[in-house]
Structure 1
């Protein structure tokens, strides 16, 4: 996946959070098993981000053919501790996350804090 619209659409899909990453799975209406990776600047500098992307690509290439959901977009969003996590541990976490996504057991939607609605704000 390369288009921003595909990543935004995947954000409406099923969400499974793990310590090193968040997996998003969204049906893509017959386009096959596709994947995308997101690593924000909050995670680290360019060297760290690129290393995480390489690790995630390898994880997905190994897992998706057998465990991936058919005709779904799979997006991995890196979390802060992704670079320190053991690769074998992340493989297990990805297998578990894909199994939960296949069973339809996503995490509850995240709630964003409201801005400017607190009592006494601005005093």
Structure 2
């Protein structure tokens, strides 16, 4: 017996048009990638810190993202909850606001990432991505 097919026009239960898995986002796995992002541009927000590294032209295209929470965030349950929230805001914001060829690292903050309202985290990430990509003034002037 075969399972019934889902109609192609049926909206998902949440009514969100964002796909559950984005093909544009890859996950950072190597420590060297995290260290490269740590030396690059950063923006601090109340719920997280965003680091962004612009990869070289010869490297793979697409957006890559990494997540980290230190033990300062809390016990394993608190750290996992914070990382789940960071993954979700990245899934929502980065496909439309991020740029190809960039690595983003989201760092959870103690007492904030797991407790701030979700909408505020989304708005903060949108603003942080815009700020990190904004042209910087020329320091030689």
TM-score over 0.5 for the pair: yes
> Which of the numbers 69, 84, 92 marks the counterpart of 2:123?
92
Residue 77 of structure 1 aligns to a residue in which SS?
strand
What does residue 51 of structure 2 align with?
A: 24
Residue 22 of structure 1 aligns to a residue in which SS?
strand
- TM-score (normalised: structure 2): 0.71
Superposed counterparts of 1:38-77, under 5 Å: 38-77=68-107
Cα RMSD after superposing both structures: 1.1
CA distance in 1, matches of 2:125, 2:99: 13
Q: Is the 8 A contact 2:85 2:113 kept in 1?
A: no
CA distance in 1, matches of 2:115, 2:95: 26
CA distance in 2, matches of 1:95, 1:89: 10
Determine which structure has greater relative contact order: mean sequence separation of CA pairs < 8 Å that are 6+ residues apart, divided by chain length. 1
Runs of 5+ consecutive residues of structure 2 not aligned to the other structure: 1-27, 137-141
What does residue 15 of structure 1 align with?
A: 42
Residue 70 of structure 2 aligns to a residue in which SS?
coil
Runs of 5+ consecutive residues of structure 1 not aligned to the other structure: 106-123
Q: CA deviation at 1:56?
A: 0.6
Q: Is the 8 A contact 1:69 1:98 kept in 2?
A: no
- TM-score (normalised: structure 1): 0.81
> Which of the numbers 22, 32, 46 marks the counterpart of 1:5?
32
Equivalent residue pairs, number: 105
